[in-house]
Amino acid sequence: MVTTPVTSITFEEYLIYDDGSDVSDFHYELVDGRLELMNPPNIQHFLTAKFLEQVLDAEIKRCGYPWLCLREGGVRTGRNKSRLSDLCIVTLEQAKELLNVSAVFQSPPLLIVEVVSPDSVKRDYRYKQSEYAALEIPEYWIVDPLKTKISVLLLEEGLYEETIFTSNQQIVSRTFPELAIPTAHFVNAVDQVFTAGNLS
């Protein structure tokens, strides 16, 4: 993570911020008025997020939910604070509110998924967890390829209650109560998520 030279910026300025570079793939989070440049994810991270996006898209379609699964959607978590999520589930109504403007949600998504990278451990487990709870996001998944576990956090009276799923378990979700991740032969659901991040 690299902090840009900008020392102070409001949320409104963040929504239209242009760093003036020729590279359009720079992604920033806004943390207490400071822009923080996110390091590009590794291939394992991309593949894991893509697999989960496909699974959740399929479940939304199967159930006929009026929802969208979006990659790298922004979520405002404070007065001058905004995070980028790996995946977020939002309603169509929430999405319609952001047509033709920056995709930063100011109302809580139904579910957020973060895939842990070596440089995001503290951010995903500590900072985002507390910010998402304060925003009252009902469900938050921390998908950790480093420890091959998936933590599903459900909001209960303002705090997250955590359930950890490992290799031999099927993920249990309150948002998607009938979710069944398709598994390869002799591979369980959590295993399949992390297998998706490998190229072998």
Structure tokens at 86: 């790996």
pLDDT over threshold 50, residue 1: no
Cα–Cα distances (Å) from 42 to 69, 115, 197, in that order, read: 21, 11, 10
**Within-domain flag for 100:** yes
pLDDT tens track for 106-134: 999 999 999 999 999 999 999 999 999 99
Q: What is the mean pLDDT of residues 30-55?
A: 90
Residue 46 lies in a domain: yes
In the predicted model, what is the mean pLDDT of the chain? 87
> How confident is residue 4, by pLDDT bands cut at 50, 70 and 90?
very low
Q: Is residue 147 part of a domain?
A: yes
Number of domains in the chain: 1
Distance CA 108, CA 185 (A): 37
Residue 135 resides in a domain:
yes
- Phi then psi dihedrals of residue 62, to 5 deg: -60, -40
Q: How far apart are the first and last CA of the chain?
A: 29
pLDDT on residue 124: 95
On the 0-12 / 13-18 / 19+ scale of CB atoms within 10 A, 50 is middle
At 138-163, the pLDDT tens digits run 999 999 999 999 999 999 999 999 99
Which structural domain, as residue segments, surrounds residue 150? 41-195
Of the CA atoms within 13 Å of residue 1, those in its CB half-sphere come to 15
Cβ distance 129 to 152 under 8 Å?
A: no
- pLDDT band per the 50, 70, 90 thresholds, residue 181: confident
Please state the pTM of the whole predicted model: 0.87
With respect to residue 59, please indicate whether it lies within any of the assigned structural domains: yes
Indicate the pLDDT class of residue 2, thresholds 50, 70 and 90: very low
Q: What is the CATH number of the domain that holds 98?
A: 3.90.1570.10
Bigger pLDDT: 7 or 170?
A: 170
What is residue 157's DSSP assignment? T
Task: Take residue 122 and report the two structure tokens written for it.
Answer: 């503290």
- SS3 letters for 110-135? CEEEEECCCCCHHHHHHHHHHHHHHC
| Position 67 in a domain | yes
Provide the pairing of β-strand 87-91 with 67-71. Answer: antiparallel
Record the tokens describing residue 138, joined without a space: 């009902």
